[in-house]
A = this chain, B = another copy of it.
Amino acid sequence: MQNTMTNVLERVNSPEDVKQLSLEELNLLAEEIRQTIIKRVNITGGHFGPNLGIVEATIALHYVFNSPIDKIVFDVSHQCYPHKMLTGRKESFTNPEKYGIYTGYTAPEESPHDLFKVGHTSTSVSLATGLAKGRDLRGGKENVIALIGDGSLSGGEAYEGLNNAAVLGSNIIIIINDNDMSIAENHGGLYGNLKLLRDTKGLAENNFFKALGFEYHYIDEGHDIKKLIELFEKVKDTNYPVIIHMHTIKGKGVEAAELDKESYHWIVPGTLDKKESCSFVGESYESITADYITKKYNQDRSVIAISPATPGVSGFTKEFRDKAGIHYADVGIAEEHAVAFASGIAKNGGKPILAVMSSFIQRTYDQLSQDLALNNNPATLLIFWGAISSADATHLTCFDIPLISNIPNLVYLAPTNKEEYLKMLDWSVEQNSYPVAIRVPVGEVITTGVEDYTDYSILNKFKVEEQGSEVAIIGLGNFFELGKKVKSELIAKLGIHPTLINPRFITGIDNQLLETLKENHKVVITLEDGVLDGGFGEKIARFYGSSDMKVLNFGAKKEFTDRVPLDVIYQRNHLTPELITEDIKRCLS
């Protein structure tokens, strides 16, 4: 067993132990934690810059406050590695055999020091305000601390939280961890104010936080444990809301990470060992997207790509952004604004293409419905990574179909290959009739080599890829490939030559085709790469409800899976050709 634990960290098993250390030891501890993170994350991959930037502050927090009685809420919680190391979970960082045993986010099931399972941004202030109110209702006295990064302040929920926290009338300490960086650069008027405050060491009269009514403290030395402790001691136990504006350096201690904060926000294994930054070469749906948009705006000046602070998700690289100029807008972590903004652009003659990760489109249902769909403005939304996955519970990407497809007017498309994707994308950008969302395929690029000439303005027309009988397989988007495998299995195992259908439309069904299938099919199966509840397949089941047609819906059970391997999820949801074939056989008998 390899054990990298060093001197001070070795003796720290809980926040109690931190409180016993001298300042010198605290500083040593910080260095040990930093080196441990560098080594471990370079081996396993993970959030790098955010954790390196918060080492000293985390130590000072645990030195001054009494967690878990005092309650610390981490925004996004991608900066919780030092916290985990100080709260009994250091072996997940120091012992290679145990690297995987704890998640990368706060998780109440791991430790009472973790209050919430979080991974989406801008939530900590609201959650902490709730903790504080719960405390006040029962007459408690503990401190409640919310940590939030400057990037997260662009999200509406953070503002709603601040607006309410300011008038709480009791103890809440909100630490703004200002490293002048979101995942990519910050965008928005607030960031001018944060810069002014940093430049004036917090002395400028023009102060966003004071305007909201907070007592405000600035600390420029966000890596100076002594000064952090002094300030935390000062605000501890105050019975009114306080803001600490803390200046830190993202990626602190690793030169490359300090210089290129975006690339080192999250790193893949081995990043530090490579001389050059490792950039993916070869075609991906992300590169196809960026290439299409680049070509498009060179022909048509009204085209604009939009990202809610996650350009990496959609292939909007630094190079793409720099070249695009006015044809690219990052709106900050503000999905609600992004959708309304796209609707407004489409209304006024522009051609917006908004790219969002499936997990984050959840942050803007009402804007999809009211600002966009109800107004029927022809914006294009690209939903990336929509699929059943082995991700953390906070970043699941299997709920976008129920979320988007049950909104009227919206057209949600599911391409199955490069050619379909490009045709749908171009149709969407050029048409003026509907808001359109496209579920960008996940995984390796599949190409047919044949251009797609489909007219997608004829809505809800499913494509029969192969005509068969007895069983019809409707394989949606990513799972069309699974449908092909089921077909082969049915031929091989049951001697059945099924009909294979690529529905392409998620938001409506092809009544005519489904009606025709009744003639010589007994079973229709649906395959969707997402949760079944409220999804695509259930609509097919409803359609056939009053007929003799048997329907089997395959997809994921409604549950929050948490880093469950994909094959395990597939197995338990019968998402393999073999298990599906068995179910069909049972249904036919």
Measuring CB to CB, which residues of chain A are less than 8 angstroms from any residue of chain B? Answer: 71, 108, 115-120, 123, 126-140, 154-167, 187-190, 192-193, 205-208, 210-214, 301-304, 326-327, 329, 331-332, 334, 336-337, 340-350, 352, 362-367, 369-371, 373-375, 393-394, 399, 402-403, 405-409, 531-535, 537-539, 541-542, 544-548, 550-553, 558-560, 583, 586-587
Say whether, besides A126-B340, A163-B190, A166-B189, A137 and B542 are in contact (CB < 8 Å).
no
- Which B residues lie within 8 Å of A552 (CB)? 545-546
- Which B residues lie within 8 Å of A301 (CB)? 137-139
Say whether, besides A340-B123, A347-B115, A402-B406, A188 and B167 are in contact (CB < 8 Å).
yes
Contact between B117 and A375 (Cβ–Cβ < 8 Å)? yes
- Which B residues lie within 8 Å of A189 (CB)? 162-167, 212-214
Say whether, besides A156-B157, A348-B134, A363-B366, A126 and B541 are in contact (CB < 8 Å).
no
Task: For the complex, give the distance between the alpha carbons of A132 and B156 in Å.
Answer: 21
- Which B residues lie within 8 Å of A157 (CB)? 156, 336-337, 340, 367
Closest to A559 in B: B408
Task: For the complex, give the distance between the alpha carbons of A189 and B240 in Å.
Answer: 13
Other A-B contacts than A126-B341, A406-B533, A541-B544, 5 sampled, CB-CB below 8 A, are A116-B343, A157-B337, A160-B332, A537-B542, A538-B538
Contact between A213 and B193 (Cβ–Cβ < 8 Å)? yes
- Which B residues lie within 8 Å of A118 (CB)? 370-371
- Which B residues lie within 8 Å of A551 (CB)? 541-542, 545-546
- Which B residues lie within 8 Å of A154 (CB)? 160, 163
Say which residue of B130, B212, B214 sits within 8 Å of A344 (CB atoms). Answer: B130
- Which B residues lie within 8 Å of A327 (CB)? 137
Say whether, besides A160-B331, A160-B332, A350-B137, A127 and B166 are in contact (CB < 8 Å).
no
- Which B residues lie within 8 Å of A303 (CB)? 137
Contact between B340 and A119 (Cβ–Cβ < 8 Å)? no
Task: For the complex, give the distance between the alpha carbons of A535 and B159 in Å.
Answer: 33
Say whether, besides A128-B344, A344-B126, A539-B533, A402 and B399 are in contact (CB < 8 Å).
no
Contact between B167 and A134 (Cβ–Cβ < 8 Å)? no
Say whether, besides A210-B206, A213-B189, A374-B393, A334 and B160 are in contact (CB < 8 Å).
yes
Task: For the complex, give the distance between the alpha carbons of A231 and B409 in Å.
Answer: 40
Closest to A557 in B: B408
- Which B residues lie within 8 Å of A348 (CB)? 71, 130-135, 138, 140
- Which B residues lie within 8 Å of A211 (CB)? 190, 193, 206-208, 211
- Which B residues lie within 8 Å of A370 (CB)? 118-120, 123, 362, 394
CB distance from A420 to the nearest CB of B (A): 24
Say whether, besides A135-B348, A375-B116, A560-B409, A341 and B164 are in contact (CB < 8 Å).
yes
Contact between B409 and A337 (Cβ–Cβ < 8 Å)? no
Q: 6 A-B residue contacts at CB 8 Å?
A: A137-B345, A137-B350, A160-B331, A161-B340, A193-B212, A533-B539
- Which B residues lie within 8 Å of A340 (CB)? 123, 126-127, 130, 157, 161
Say which residue of B403, B406, B586 sits within 8 Å of A531 (CB atoms). Answer: B406
Contact between B116 and A371 (Cβ–Cβ < 8 Å)? yes
Contact between B188 and A164 (Cβ–Cβ < 8 Å)? yes
Closest to A403 in B: B365
Say which residue of B188, B302, B371 sits within 8 Å of A137 (CB atoms). Answer: B302
Contact between A133 and B538 (Cβ–Cβ < 8 Å)? no
CB distance from A245 to the nearest CB of B (A): 13
Say which residue of B131, B156, B541, B546 sits within 8 Å of A545 (CB atoms). Answer: B541
- Which B residues lie within 8 Å of A346 (CB)? 130, 134
- What 10 A-B pairs have minimum CB-CB distances, sorted nearest first? A130-B344, A156-B156, A166-B189, A134-B348, A126-B340, A534-B534, A160-B337, A545-B551, A406-B534, A134-B350
Say whether, besides A348-B71, A393-B374, A366 and B117 are in contact (CB < 8 Å).
no
CB distance from A305 to the nearest CB of B (A): 12
Closest to A193 in B: B211
Closest to A189 in B: B166
Specify which of A399, A406, A532, A551 lies most central, judged by the most chain B CB atoms within 10 Å of its CB: A406
- Which B residues lie within 8 Å of A548 (CB)? 548
Say whether, besides A133-B329, A402-B534, A375 and B108 are in contact (CB < 8 Å).
yes
Specify which of A137, A302, A537, A545 lies most central, judged by the most chain B CB atoms within 10 Å of its CB: A545
Say whether, besides A118-B370, A123-B370, A336 and B160 are in contact (CB < 8 Å).
yes
Contact between B347 and A116 (Cβ–Cβ < 8 Å)? yes
Task: For the complex, give the distance between the alpha carbons of A159 and B552 in Å.
Answer: 46
Say whether, besides A160-B337, A193-B212, A533 and B345 are in contact (CB < 8 Å).
no
Task: For the complex, give the distance between the alpha carbons of A536 and B531 in Å.
Answer: 15
Say which residue of B134, B374, B405 sits within 8 Å of A534 (CB atoms). Answer: B405
Say whether, besides A206-B210, A349-B137, A344 and B534 are in contact (CB < 8 Å).
no
Contact between B371 and A127 (Cβ–Cβ < 8 Å)? yes
Closest to A126 in B: B340
Contact between A553 and B542 (Cβ–Cβ < 8 Å)? yes
Task: For the complex, give the distance between the alpha carbons of A403 and B137 in Å.
Answer: 31
